């Protein structure tokens, strides 16, 4: 029987620490960006989650400069 190797699925909703690591900032900066910069997030009860596709779009929209 062939066992296929599968990679762990990437979560669609990131925890605060995961989102901060992905963006290379602190959780405190995430909070500030939520308040001031419109960083997308979901509030599920008392829990905050960051939708991965929206975070990627949000970050891509803020890229400055370009390739030469």
- Residue 8: which pLDDT band, with cuts at 50, 70 and 90? low
Average pLDDT, the chain: 88
Q: Answer yes or no: are the C-beta atoms of 14 and 55 closer than 8 Å.
A: yes
Domain limits, the chain = 13-60
Rounded Cα distance between 49 and 1, Å, is 39
pLDDT of residue 66: 62
Q: What is the pTM of this model?
A: 0.76
Q: β-strands 47-51, 13-14: how paired?
A: antiparallel
Cα first-last separation, the chain: 51
């Amino acid at each position: 029987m062939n066992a296929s190797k599968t990679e762990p699925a990437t979560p669609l909703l990131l925890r605060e620490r995961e989102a901060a690591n992905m963006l290379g900032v602190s959780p405190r900066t995430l909070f500030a960006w939520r308040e001031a910069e419109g960083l997308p997030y979901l509030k599920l009860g008392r829990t905050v989650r960051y939708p991965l596709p929206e975070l990627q779009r949000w970050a891509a929209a803020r890229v400055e400069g370009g390739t030469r």
